[in-house]
Amino acid sequence: MKKLLSRLVFSVFLFFAAVFNVHGEEAALSSATEECLDCHRALHPGLVASWEKSRHSRTTPAAALVKASISRRVSSDSIDKSLQDVVVGCYECHSLRVDQHADSFEHNGYRINVIVSPKDCATCHSVEADQYSKNIMSHAYGNLVDNSLYRDMTAAVNNNYHRKDKSLVLGDIDKATEYESCLYCHGTKVEVKGLATRQTSFGELTFPVLEGWPNQGVGRINPDGSKGACTSCHSRHEFSIEMARKPYTCSECHKGPDVPAYKVYEVSKHGNIFNSLDKNYNFDNVPWVVGKDFTAPTCATCHASLLVTPDQEVIAERTHQFNDRLAWRLFGVPYAHPHPVDADLKDVRNSRGLPLAVELDGTPVAQHVIDKAEQDLRNKKMKAVCASCHSTEWSEEHFRRLDNTIARTNDITHEATKILMDIWEGNYAHGLPQGANIFDEEAERMWTSIWLFYANSTRFASAMAGGGDYGVFADGRYQTTEQLYRLNDYLKFRESLENKMPKK
């Protein structure tokens, strides 16, 4: 009985130790960070509390570096000694590389930056920053605004219109609108426009004036010239790996009809299991143990995380180049095609000189897209993840179906493109032959919705092995074919009117 009692007491001790662990011995704050907190704790209590909940507030780089390689959350081989023995606080991040930061400024005796950029985060997380720089997402700003076709689309969508002689005339570009629409996800170009002084509760203070700020878009151009924002996914000051691993993070930008990844995931088998059982999952463990930490994958599982078996055998390496395991760029522009070779698409041109990696009939432009061997390699990496739970036959057939769906949706986009070309040819709308914006007329929008919404939706439903209705009645094949009828009827109707109507 005495033995049992002592065992119980020990168990109780362990239990309470585990419970109170998070409030255990606290690591040291730098004196600079202590100063930051002195004011900001009162000014922005939510922000500070959020950081206090982060791992950054509770651990030091020195402690992070000594972990076993597979469990390590920092990837830089060495971290500056001066940073190693304090927790990662306000000053530690906001004071990095101030000379390269156009947004640096004097603040209560310290030189700090408004924005912490991926190059700053690279201090401790260099491998992730490097991988992310090869991720097409980090180039999302330039890939959008430097592409003449996309510029036409954003103008047609975002700019105002005014009527002149009963025709709609496209108005000017409007920066604030750009920031809220396309660039909310793609990222803005943050530029310093001088300094401004204002009264604060701590007296008069001077701050940089930033154009394009706030923004956490994935391809943000930072005032140090770097690209991207780690906070797109590791949001705000909690820098949570749990958040980045949950699909809600991805849903911020991948829910719209153009890339309905989250909507599809939600009604896929994977999404159902996640939604039903995620309360039992551990989203914080590194490495992430398949089966033990979770049973259904989230976006991060298949596209980013370091995955191991319960025996710590590596299933997939961590990657922040999220197309590492992706053979295809599903998102059609206007056709789905093998992933671009380069994340920066500024030099991509097809044989007509259009900034597209495909010809207008859907043929990929060979030099701009990865070849079959690379596609096979990427598929192989992805199938290793699938194999955690699925037989070879299962996943092989899955990818066969996906390939078929890509081909079929491209086919129907091709038919639609031919109809639109006839419409342009007949001068029933003004597009490529007329050198006009190809997104600002009703018939052009019918064509656009076919590939931008319905073909994409259908392909995402296929890629996630489910999401049935997003391939059928919810922006799927039903809507594809309906728009195809409308587009073809538009041409036939305009032609028949022209033939039948008396010339004035």
User: Taking CB under 8 A as the criterion, which residues in 263-322 touch a second copy?
Assistant: 266-269, 271-273, 275-277, 279-280, 290-292, 295, 309-311
Of 48 and 370, nearer to a second copy (C-beta) is 48
Residues between 193 and 232 that touch a second copy (CB under 8 A): 198, 200, 207, 209-210, 213-214, 216
Of 276 and 367, nearer to a second copy (C-beta) is 276
Residues between 125 and 164 that touch a second copy (CB under 8 A): 156-158, 160-163
Cβ atoms of 332 and 386 within 8 Å: the answer is no
Task: Check binding of 184 to a second copy (CB under 8 A).
Answer: yes
Residues between 66 and 105 that touch a second copy (CB under 8 A): none
- For residue 122, the minimal CB distance to a second copy (Å) is 23
The DSSP-derived string for 96-117 is TTGGG-TTEEEETTEEEES---
Cβ atoms of 230 and 215 within 8 Å: the answer is no
Task: Check binding of 12 to a second copy (CB under 8 A).
Answer: yes
Task: Check binding of 17 to a second copy (CB under 8 A).
Answer: no
Residues between 364 and 393 that touch a second copy (CB under 8 A): 387-393
Give the number of residues written for the chain.
504
- For residue 161, the minimal CB distance to a second copy (Å) is 6
- For residue 232, the minimal CB distance to a second copy (Å) is 9
Cβ atoms of 368 and 357 within 8 Å: the answer is yes
Lookup result for tokens 């689309």? 153
Mode of pairing for the β-strands spanning 328-329 and 337-338: antiparallel
For 131, phi then psi, to 5°, come to -60, -45
- For residue 365, the minimal CB distance to a second copy (Å) is 24
Cα–Cα distance for residue pair 277/296, rounded to 1 Å: 9
Residues between 27 and 66 that touch a second copy (CB under 8 A): 42-50, 52-53
- For residue 400, the minimal CB distance to a second copy (Å) is 7
Helix (H) or strand (E) holding 394: helix 392-425
Cα–Cα distance for residue pair 473/153, rounded to 1 Å: 26
Find the angle CA(444)-CA(142)-CA(365) to the nearest 5 degrees: 65
Residues between 447 and 486 that touch a second copy (CB under 8 A): 452-453, 461-462, 465-466, 468-469, 471-474, 476-478, 481-482, 484-486
Token pair listed for 466:
């489910």
Peptide bond preceding 214 in cis form (omega within 30 of 0): yes
- Number of shown-chain residues binding a second copy (CB under 8 A): 136
Residues between 342 and 361 that touch a second copy (CB under 8 A): none
